[in-house]
Amino acid sequence: MGRSVIMASITIGSTSGSRPYCTLSVTQSSQNIANNSSTVSYSLVLHRPSAISSSATKKWSCTINGTVHSGSGTIGGSGNKTLLSGTQTISHNQDGTKSLSFSGSCGLEITWGSTYIGTISGSGSMSLTTIPRASSVSMSASTAYPNGSITVNITRASSSFTHTLTYSCGGSSGTIATGVATSYAWTIPAALIHNSPNANQVCTVTCYTYNGGTHIGTKSTTFTVYCYSPSKLSSTSGSTIGSLFSMNISRSSGLFTHSLWYSFGSKTWQGIGNGISTSSSFTPPMSLCNEIPKAASGSMTIILRTYYGNTQIGSDQYYYYTVNVPSSVVPTLSQVTCSEYMSDVHNLIGAYVQNKSRLSLAIIGASGSYGSVITTYKISVAGQTINAVSGTTGIMTTSGNQTITATITDSRGRTATKSISVNVLPYIHPKINGVGVERNTDTSALVTANLLSTSLIVNGIEKNFSRYLIEYKSVDASSYTQIEASAESLSYALSKTITGLNEAKSYDFRVYVGDVFGYNSAYEILHISTAFKSFDFDVKTGRIGIQKVLEHKDSIIEVPHGSKLYVGETPIDLDNILIFIEE
């Protein structure tokens, strides 16, 4: 019986008792891959274990895969005799497989011994080696990106085979190439991004194998088409509002474009630009300073969106940067004013005077910038500070050019200053020294003193002058008599005679010095005794006056103020002695 090998053989007839029989052998001798066929050889052999005596013509045949091969001749003799032999081309199925059947017959028509042997026949089958048909296909990598390159590799059974390659990915499909031999470098369509911009896709590549115009078979393979990551900002420069801010973009594909926005404070999604490739710049408007009136810096958000055509790639990318209010954005003040607070100084001198003037100071036109407000005011001069928009200093105790500095601070902590200078005339209060009073006659007294006042020249005109006030009264009087006059110069030696004094009375004197501002509160009290008399004796009362006229009715002895009484070298203790000593 036949068996499924590349060579098959069957025995035709019975082999018992040395009978004649036949064998039919079929062998796969070669294959034509391109033609999808095999060549088989066949051989029909008559086996004669014992001699056959026959001269008659006999017929025989064999059928291979439906094709009949026949012959005729004599069969007499002994041993093996080949009746038929040859080759035959067998076409395979479309998938390259083939099973074929074969049969053989021989008309012996002899009597062997006592048994008649007519026509013997037999049949069998065999499977031929499968011929490779559809070429196998593989990819050079398991993953790739749209617009990237990948190679399709083909293993073909015949060099005459060519191939058509197609792809299917998501909702897209198309032909990759035709007439391909063993490989093809394919640029993956960028349009696949549209199918699935934010998720990977499985792409099927199908290989159609052709022999000439004949389609032989089809095989396919798959690989993963990755989705691109959204682009990123790789670097930036600039950090000041009102100045250029530049951005560089690192993109995953040269096909990508971008849109940029910024947000700052209440200003959200402010457009920077569209259709941007790898870099962009913009100048944050100065109006953004209004968004942070209480701070010198704030956080700006930059939003980057990636596009392929009109398709967004991935999610928006957010970046946060600190931007600063320009150092030039500071509060402003238009002027600092200064005027004399003391009306007498203003009216009498018309200039600022040391130890007399008080300055009325004010900041005019102070305002914030780009939304800020003024939070503090300060005016400083000569060691004095006014923490307000206006105010009055204390008495100015220094002279010369004095710098008045106004400082304002806004809600950003930024400051602005403005200074002016004023001249303060040096001045000290008038002085008096060398004061003296003495009787120059019994009824008059001479007052002497040195007076000194400070010069106050304004616009070449002396505004100051010296003056004096003399007050005097007898010691028993309750009020003073006043004599007042202006001196002839700022530095003046006073010498004034007071007349009409009572020779029998002691007098108190007060001498004041003054100038344009009035009299100094400082004065000296001087005392003069009665008129001089070597010895004055009251015969009625026995009272004695030594070197003075008797003045007090309750005294026993009167001496001038400052007199001394000694007993030898020792002063007498007069505490318990009723002596009136002038004070």
pLDDT at 109: 93
pLDDT, one tens digit for every residue, the chain (583 residues): 333 458 999 999 998 888 999 999 999 999 998 888 999 999 999 999 999 999 999 999 999 999 999 999 999 999 999 999 999 999 999 888 999 999 999 999 999 888 899 999 999 999 999 988 899 999 999 999 999 999 999 999 889 899 999 999 988 999 999 999 999 999 999 999 999 999 999 999 999 999 888 888 899 999 999 999 999 999 999 999 999 999 999 999 999 999 999 999 999 999 999 999 999 999 999 999 999 999 999 999 999 999 999 999 999 999 999 999 999 999 999 999 999 999 999 999 999 999 999 999 999 999 999 999 999 999 999 999 999 999 999 999 999 999 999 999 999 999 999 999 999 999 999 999 889 999 999 899 999 999 999 999 999 999 999 999 999 999 889 999 999 999 889 999 999 999 999 988 889 999 999 999 998 765 667 888 774 445 455 556 666 666 555 555 566 676 665 555 655 566 665 444 444 445 4
* Domain-embedded: residue 1: no
SS3 string, 16-29, reads HHHCCEEEEEEEEE
pLDDT at 529: 79
* Domain-embedded: residue 96: yes
Answer whether 533's CB lies under 8 Å from 547's CB: yes
Same domain for 277 and 360, yes or no, is no
Beta bridge partners of 525: 510
Same domain for 115 and 212, yes or no, is no
* Domain-embedded: residue 32: yes
What's the number of domains the chain is made of? 6
Instruction: Name the token pair of 512.
Output: 């004041």
By residue range, what is the domain housing residue 561?
529-583
Same domain for 491 and 534, yes or no, is no
Same domain for 111 and 11, yes or no, is yes
pLDDT at 579: 47
Same domain for 405 and 341, yes or no, is yes
Q: What is the pTM of this model?
A: 0.66
* Domain-embedded: residue 329: no
Residue in 367, 364, 363, 371 with CA at minimum distance from that of residue 332:
367
pLDDT at 561: 56
pLDDT at 6: 85
SS3 string, 295-307, reads CCEEEEEEEEEEE
Strands ordered across the beta sheet of 67-73 = 67-73, 58-64, 98-112, 115-128
DSSP state for residue 228 in the 8-state scheme: P
Same domain for 140 and 124, yes or no, is no
Same domain for 101 and 15, yes or no, is yes
Name the strand (E) or helix (H) holding 51. strand 37-52
Answer whether 198's CB lies under 8 Å from 314's CB: yes
* Domain-embedded: residue 398: yes
Chosen domain end from 425, 444, 470: 425
Which are the contacts of 331, defined by CB distance < 8 A and separation ≥ 6? 366, 367, 368, 369, 372, 374, 408, 409, 410, 414, 415, 416
Same domain for 173 and 219, yes or no, is yes
* Domain-embedded: residue 148: yes
Chosen domain end from 324, 343, 371: 324
* Domain-embedded: residue 242: yes
